[in-house]
């Protein structure tokens, strides 16, 4: 493998020492680039046998001009910046790292749920302003026995469902792909419409696809309970942000918590930023020190695995 080269198209991590150790351990070379555009990738990565990719666009145009590339591994779960069909046409194996932050994301969703429902951020900010009054939080409802709806029952959705069940919630679930990571006998499977109607909290854990883009639009938000909360730790475009702004303004739902947005970071004039009932965190649900290291190691190991003729552990497309 000594003549092989693995390029990193782009990476905002403070170090790539973990990837470098894995790749050099396989007697391959590694080159770190700072690609932002299609032109950058074509110029810098044409000689790569494999790529690790974070945000740089990997379109059909780009993939058609990477003649040596045999594998691309995405840092993370989502692969919406990669043209999967084109990669398959050009014989490029696409992989991701779907299992590195399962506990982190499901924990973050739980934290956002409790922050919304117990209104801890609202109350904490009031105290800092010199207000010592619980009544501004009314109503706060008892959480045990409430119904949590989980959209997407893959690894993370299943982990969240187990944690919510263990905390005393009734759990219902909907998965548009009808694929479930594991048996969850305590989760009642329902239709999407029924989930909207019955849930006191909805937590989104599905991938962004053509089917799930703007899955939560005006009609879906209007179908929710006016006392319900919506949580998104998946992908921003699953929620129509204009519709969510209207929902919060007009009281269709009680609040929302977003770790992901359509545009990241959001523009300062994004109307969702003005709602006290909308908590926004900076796409951090995936993060812990352990998950960070695991992501980098597994991405590099997967690229090496494919380039040494082994079967990938996390294939996205079938060649």
Whether residue 9 is found in the same domain as residue 123 = no
Residue 95 lies in a domain: yes
Residue 268 lies in a domain: yes
Whether residue 35 is found in the same domain as residue 167 = no
**pLDDT of 179 strictly over 80:** no
Closest CA to 293 of 7, 6, 22: 22
How many folded domains does the chain comprise? 2
Active site residues: 235, 264, 283
Query: Which positions ≥6 away from 63 have C-beta within 8 Å?
Result: 69, 83, 86, 87, 90, 92
**pLDDT of 228 strictly over 90:** yes
Whether residue 155 is found in the same domain as residue 301 = no
Query: Which positions ≥6 away from 40 have C-beta within 8 Å?
Result: 33, 34, 56
Summary count for the chain: helices (H), strands (E): 11, 12
Mean pLDDT of 75-82: 91
Query: Which positions ≥6 away from 138 have C-beta within 8 Å?
Result: none
Residue 180 has a pLDDT of 67
Whether residue 108 is found in the same domain as residue 194 = yes
Helix (H, G, I), strand (E, B) or coil at 274: helix
Residue 316 lies in a domain: no
Yes or no: say if 27 and 2 are a contact pair by the CB < 8 Å rule: yes
Whether residue 94 is found in the same domain as residue 211 = no
Whether residue 227 is found in the same domain as residue 119 = yes
Whether residue 58 is found in the same domain as residue 194 = no
Return the ∠ at Cα 220 (arms to 217 and 223), rounded to 5°.
150
Residue 176 has a pLDDT of 86
Mean pLDDT of 206-228: 96
Residue 319 lies in a domain: no
Provide the mean pLDDT of the chain. Answer: 96
- Domain around 246: 102-280
Whether residue 80 is found in the same domain as residue 156 = no
Q: Which helix or strand (DSSP H or E) is residue 289 part of?
A: helix 289-307
Q: What is the pLDDT of residues 233-251, one digit of tens each?
A: 999 999 999 999 999 999 9
């Amino acid at each position: 493998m000594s003549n092989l080269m693995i390029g990193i198209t782009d990476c905002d991590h403070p170090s790539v020492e973990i990837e470098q150790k894995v790749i050099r351990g396989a007697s391959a070379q590694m080159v770190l680039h700072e690609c932002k555009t299609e032109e950058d990738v074509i110029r810098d990565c044409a000689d790569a046998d494999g790529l690790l990719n974070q945000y740089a666009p990997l379109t059909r145009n780009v993939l058609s001009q990477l003649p040596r590339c045999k594998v691309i591994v995405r840092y993370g779960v989502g692969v919406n910046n990669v043209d999967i069909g084109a990669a398959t046409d050009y014989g490029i194996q696409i992989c991701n790292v779907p299992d590195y932050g399962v506990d982190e994301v499901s924990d973050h969703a739980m934290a956002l749920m409790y922050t919304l429902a117990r209104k801890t951020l609202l109350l904490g900010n009031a105290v800092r302003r010199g207000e010592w009054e619980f009544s501004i939080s009314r109503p706060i409802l008892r959480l045990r026995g409430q119904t949590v709806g989980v959209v997407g029952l893959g690894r993370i959705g299943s982990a969240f469902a187990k944690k919510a069940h263990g905390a005393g919630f009734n759990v219902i679930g909907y998965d548009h792909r009808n694929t479930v990571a594991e048996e969850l006998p305590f989760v009642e499977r329902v239709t999407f419409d029924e989930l909207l109607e019955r849930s006191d909290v909805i937590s989104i854990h599905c991938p962004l696809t053509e089917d799930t883009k703007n899955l939560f639009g005006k009609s879906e938000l209007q179908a929710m309970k006016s006392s319900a909360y919506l949580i998104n730790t998946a992908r921003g475009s699953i929620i129509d942000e204009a519709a969510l702004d209207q929902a919060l303004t007009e009281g269709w739902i009680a609040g929302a918590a977003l770790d992901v947005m359509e545009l990241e970071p959001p523009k300062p004039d994004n109307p969702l930023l003005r709602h006290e009932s909308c908590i926004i965190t900076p796409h951090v649900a995936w993060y812990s020190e352990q998950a960070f290291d695991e992501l980098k190691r597994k991405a590099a190991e997967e690229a090496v695995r494919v380039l040494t003729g082994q079967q990938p552990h996390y294939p996205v497309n079938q060649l």
